[in-house]
Amino acid sequence: MATTRIYVPRETSAVSVGADEVAVAIAREAKQAGVNIELIRNGSWGASWLEPLVEVEVDGARIAYGNVTVEDVAGLFAAGLGGEHDKRLGPVNEIPYLINQDRWTFWRCGLTEPLSLEDFRLHQGFKALEKAFDGGPKAVLGAVTASGLRGRGGAGFPTGIKWQTVADTEADQKYIACNADEGDSGTFSDRLLMEGDPLGLIESMAIAGFAVGASKGYIYLRSEYPLTHRILTRALELARDGGWLGEDIQGSGFDFDIELHLGAGSYVCGEETAMLESLEGKKGIVRYKPPLPAHEGLFGKPTVVNNVVTLASVPNIVNLGGERYAGMGINRSKGTLAFQLAGNIRRGGLVEKSFGVTVRELIDDYGGGTASGRPVKAVQIGGPLGAYLPAEQLDTPLDYEAFTEIGAMIGHGGIVVFDDTADMAQQARFAMEFCAIESCGKCTPCRIGSTRGVEVIDRMIAGDSRDENYDLLVELCDTMEDASLCAMGGMTPYPVRSVLRHFAEDFASSGGK
């Protein structure tokens, strides 16, 4: 009897809404019904709103069922696998949300079995690394520079320049440090990639190491991602066992290995120098720059610090050429970004699109508006340090420079939607409160300013000398922005100022604390 392949994601969001239980129910039902199945735990395609998204392979097509519950499973079998059912969405590769994307970096996510070296190899796995070995480090550096790729962690620094700097710096030891401390609310693209294509990240880091002459890599993973930790741990074992990490990789003469480190719940450790401190076993306190990590990074050695998505964009740049990547996007924002639709949105999930798409297109065309069905009031982009955009700014194209112009930032591409019930004075207060909780304490504007900021906002909400406190808050924002050591204190004013600018009336009406 033929075996039917059934895919159930093993990915945090899918599992958080019951994917494991559904997988168990499918295995049980198959056994009872005497149906031969092969249960594959794939990554998520990123259509989080459809999770758990179950696929059944019929005649080579993967038929998708959305929001499957344990109670649905018997019905799926009764209808005949792949047959008609209320939850049936048709072939997964015809779902509009997924096909209308520009999947450059996330193309294997959902498609493949993350912890199968064989499946990875079948889907171009390690092909770019082999190509790098053939062409040499200069060719890789050339392709990355030509691609115009910029750091996807938030700062948007040109990756080619960073890699070239490390390559040009003489040292007995260099490092690749992958920043997987994805702490911005509204962002989950790093996690989705690490869970859906962990071997792809490993390949990316090896390519980076080869290009700059680094023999050791570190992944700094936040502790809030325990499932990701299990998946990455296993993927590293698989890569080592397969001879893709370690000494003399595949007879190339290139040595490279990766150590996986866990964070410990500090937001600031997502800042590159704080992350390096933490990797050295210390408090995650921000370092002064210069020296740049590219010159003196981890343990004082030249270090490439890149975000997960930045690194994972590289294999296809090597495979298909930097020009191809640079051909996507607009202006100086080349290529694609994995936007993450989150918060009060009907169809939340990951949408990898070329730069230039507008916020409104993402929210309306992909996201389907708010989950509550109410009008959009504000959209926070770029995490807790990002501005709140009012509805009239939603036609801004997603482009690093266009966002800078309106006092906002794209950051790591998280888009958090709030409906008209949101109390923006409370959101401004939270921005300061979060800074007070997470400040590393090294510089005064951030450490003290954030606490004073909460107090000033509380007075405004209470109606105590609102105009004077408004001026005081603006002045405080100026000080924090100009005098803080890193983005934590320096950008906390962004969301605060955006509330003052666009939603000042909420200070009078705030029903909160």
Partner 1 sequence: MTQGIDREATSEIAREFGADPAYLVQILQAIVTRHGWIPEDTIRQLADVLNLSRADVYGVVNYYHDFRTEAPGKHIVKICQAEACQAMGSRALTAHARQSLGTEMHETAEDVTLEPVYCLGNCACAPAVMIDNKTHGRVDAARFDRLVAGLRESG
- H or E element in which residue 64 lies: strand 61-65
Closer to partner 1 at the Cβ: 20 or 119? 20
Distance in Å, CB of 225 to partner 1, minimum: 6
Smallest gap from residue 146 Cβ to partner 1 (A): 32
Residue (66 or 158) nearer to partner 1, CB: 66
**CB closer to partner 1 out of 86 and 420:** 420
Task: Supply φ then ψ for residue 258, to 5 degrees.
Answer: -125, 135
| CA–CA dist 187, 194 (Å, integer) | 13
Residue nearer to partner 1 on the CB measure, 162 or 497? 497
User: 137-147 vs 198-212: helix axis angle to the nearest 10?
Assistant: 110
State the minimum distance, in angstroms, from the CB of residue 334 to partner 1.
26
Smaller CB distance to partner 1: residue 372 or 479?
A: 372
Rounded to the nearest 10°, the torsion over CA 222, 297, 189, 485 is 80
Alpha-carbon distance of 400 to 245, in angstroms, equals: 35
Query: Please, what is the end-to-end C-alpha distance for the chain in angstroms?
Result: 65
Instruction: Return the number of the residue (296 or 419) whose C-beta is nearest partner 1.
Output: 419
Give the residue with the Cβ less far from partner 1, 210 or 403: 403
Nearer to partner 1, 12 or 159 (CB): 12
Which DSSP symbol is given to 355?
B
CB of 246 to partner 1, least distance (A): 19
CA distance 200 to 311: 9
In whole angstroms, what is the distance from residue 74 CA to residue 84 CA? Answer: 13
Shortest distance in whole angstroms from residue 172 CB to partner 1? 17
Query: Smallest distance, Å, CB 368 to partner 1?
Result: 12
134 vs 307: CA distance, rounded Å: 26
Beta-sheet pairing, 61-65 with 88-91:
antiparallel
Positions in the binding site for partner 1 (CB under 8 A)? 12-13, 15-17, 48-49, 51, 182-188, 190-191, 222-227, 261-267, 278-285, 299, 340-345, 348-350, 371, 380, 384, 414, 416-419, 422, 427, 430, 434, 437-438, 440
Cβ 192 to partner 1, closest distance in Å? 8
Distance CA 298, CA 501 (A): 41
Q: Which is nearer to partner 1, 26 or 435 (CB)?
A: 435
Q: Please report where in the chains the tokens 């297109």 appear, as a residue.
A: 361
For the CB of residue 340, give the shortest distance to partner 1 in the complex, in Å. 7
- 260 vs 320, which CB is nearer to partner 1? 260
Q: How far is the CB of 359 from partner 1 (least distance, A)?
A: 15
CB atoms within 10 A of CB 289: 13
- How many CB atoms within 10 Å of residue 405? 10
The rounded distance, in Å, linking the Cα atoms of 10 and 192 is: 10
Nearest distance, CB of residue 255 and partner 1, angstroms: 20
- Check: CB of residue 259 under 8 Å from CB of residue 219: yes
CB atoms within 10 A of CB 183: 19
Which tokens belong to 435?
Answer: 């800074």
Q: Helix H segments across 341-386?
A: 359-360
DSSP notation for 257-290? EEEEEE--S-GGGGSHHHHHHHHTTS--PPPPSS
